[in-house]
Structure 1
Amino acid sequence: MKHLLSLLEYNESAFVKVLELAEKIKSDWTKGKRPDLLPRKVLGLIFEKPSLRTRVSFESAMMQMGGNSIFLGTSDGQIGVRETVADFARTICHYVDAVVLRTFSHATVVEFAKNSSIPVINGLSDQFHPCQAIADILTIRQAFGPKPGKTVVFVGDGNNVSRSLAIACALVGYHFILSGPKPYHFDKDFITLFSKRFPNAVLNQSADANDSVKNADILYTDVWTSMGQESENEKRIKKFKDFQINDRLFSKAPKHCKFMHCLPAHRGEEVTGSIIDGRASIVFEQAGNRMHAQKAILLDMILGSK
């Protein structure tokens, strides 16, 4: 059974095939072609966290491909509360063809997948956000072409988005730099995991934002305080204040550099309005690519699992 929990399930060639499929799907979509690629298939969306892009892009993807979706929020299934994660997984497998989980704990995704007879897709956990990373690489290829060797600089902390983006960059031969306060760099467990899986990949970490951006093809950031970290907000704002992507910092990057953000953005904190709305921003193309990337993921998971 195929699952998408972290991107580590893919080898380089399989990952590129998903990207190429997403590119074809998007090309057809722009021409008004929306074939029923998943007719009568049903996707279960099980979300512990609120969502705009993940929910709407998956629901639209299924509808445009001739399928349907069922949404279960915190007041519906209550996964792991009313019944165990394992029992929940074994039950819902009889009703739907694949499941997207958006959870606080990655352990919930792993436990669900262990007990699932249908594909499980991680729509976000505290450790990884693989669907976002696939859309990110799709967006970079759209901006620069498919050649490897690009440098992606993530200005922020070693969170779920940056972990998945680092893995995705390694799969396509990009260089990855995490720039942020040293206490917020990737933890040792992730570095060990990454180095073992990608011994030849370029992954660097820096506490100097000015130096980090000088060779960037892409400058990427995320909110400084993620869902579940609200109690740390004041502390994080103080720690990351020198890592805001603004006109001054962006001016130190090459002229061709593009700006990306997974959204939602806290304007005036991690990024200024002049950058997110500026000439170099590809943020909303990036958001739109979530749907096209996830169509490819669904086709790969549902049809490829048979």
Structure 2
Amino acid sequence: MKIVTTPESVLEMALAAMARTPDERLRTVMAALTRHLHAFVQEVRLTEEEFESALDFIVGIGHATGDKKNEVVLAADLLGVSTLVALLNNQDPQGESPAALLGPFWRANAPLCATGECIARSDTPGGIPLEVTGTVRDTEGRPIAGAIVDTWQASPVGLYENQDPQQQDMNLRGRFETDAEGRFRFTTVRPAGYPVPTDGPCGVLLRAQQRHPNRPAHLHFMVSKPGHKVLITQVFADDDENLESDPVFGVTRRLIGRFEAQQDGQAATLAHDFVLEPGEMKFPRPPIP
């Protein structure tokens, strides 16, 4: 009889039950996941109390996800999985711009703005004016006209607009179309670093691991044009103290931008170019509405 006889025999039976899965990729992924999960449980000798805690954590991140925050994405970020997936799928073999994790705060359909427009639509106390410029090119170095540069960021107090009732809807978010030379330009305020949300299960985990929650200051970008793979990336402030300890492991050397101080520190500029690779223009699912 094919029944469970030992702890080790459970894996064999589980894999056999999944072997009939018609979808080859699903069959491969689920078999690998099951093998690794069983190996993990065996390695750490998971107790029943720890298993309960793990299930509570998974349920908790679901309950903590809503219109203002995606705790599931945050958990994947804090475990380094989001960055790992981004790096594995974007190896830039042709010199295209490096990718980064999407993060839990992107919203689709940000306002389409005119060149040079300011995306700071609410009062931003302490915000240093920042002018951002750049060019979008293909892997042959040719400028890409009509590319859409979608950008979003935290405020100078470290909050995205969906977290802060003092900010207007879609504040510090905007989409810009490149001109005939592939250029884009907009103004904003210099973002601050900020803590990832710590009011849910992910915060409990960070505290238990004695990890700080503070992301280095950065701008998010999503650059797209039909016929090219959508680039999801971030540009980090080069003077931030948390570049080497980003809690979501999102900083790579090529993602560090140069924020130039102007007017005795009363303004700043950032010049940063992007290179798109050929491919399908496929957008991610928004983490929040």
Q: What is the TM-score when the length of structure 2 is the normalising length?
A: 0.24
Q: What is the TM-score when the length of structure 1 is the normalising length?
A: 0.23
**Bigger fraction of residues in strand:** 2
User: Computing the radius of gyration over CA atoms, which structure comes out larger, 1 or 2?
Assistant: 2
